[in-house]
């Protein structure tokens, strides 16, 4: 049985699965007529929605990690 990747970011596994699916779907897109163009436009809306979800998933932990980093660096400087 394959081991599951341990993510430190809640929701990262779902993002990874959705991203993989979107990449496969994008690679399969062909636009040769107006109907396919319309389908691709709706697909793009979905990609943008995933981008928003990625931002919501990662921005909070990134901000917290940055704040922790700054606090640790400040503490180190205080003791140097």
How many structural domains does the chain have?
A: 1
Q: What is the pTM of this model?
A: 0.71
Task: Give 55-71 pLDDT, tens digit per residue.
Answer: 999 999 999 999 999 99
Residue-number span of the structural domain to which 50 is assigned: 27-79
Are 2 and 34 spatial neighbours (Cβ–Cβ below 8 Å)? no
Tens digits of residue pLDDT in 4-47: 566 788 889 999 999 999 999 999 999 999 999 999 999 999 99
Residue 58 lies in a domain: yes
Task: Annotate 9-77 with DSSP letters as a single string.
Answer: STTHHHHHHHHHHHHHHHHH----SHHHHHHHHHHHHHHHHHHHHHHHHHHHHHHHHHHHHHHHHHHHH
Residue reference for tokens 């943008």: 48
Residue 5 placed within a domain: no
């Amino acid at each position: 049985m394959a081991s599951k990747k341990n993510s430190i970011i809640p929701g990262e596994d779902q993002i990874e699965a959705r991203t993989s699916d979107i990449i496969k779907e994008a690679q399969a897109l062909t636009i040769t007529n107006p109907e396919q163009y319309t389908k691709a436009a709706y697909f793009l809306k979905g990609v943008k929605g995933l981008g928003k979800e990625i931002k919501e998933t990662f921005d909070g932990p990134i901000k917290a990690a940055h704040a922790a980093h700054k606090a640790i660096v400040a503490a180190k400087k205080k003791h140097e």
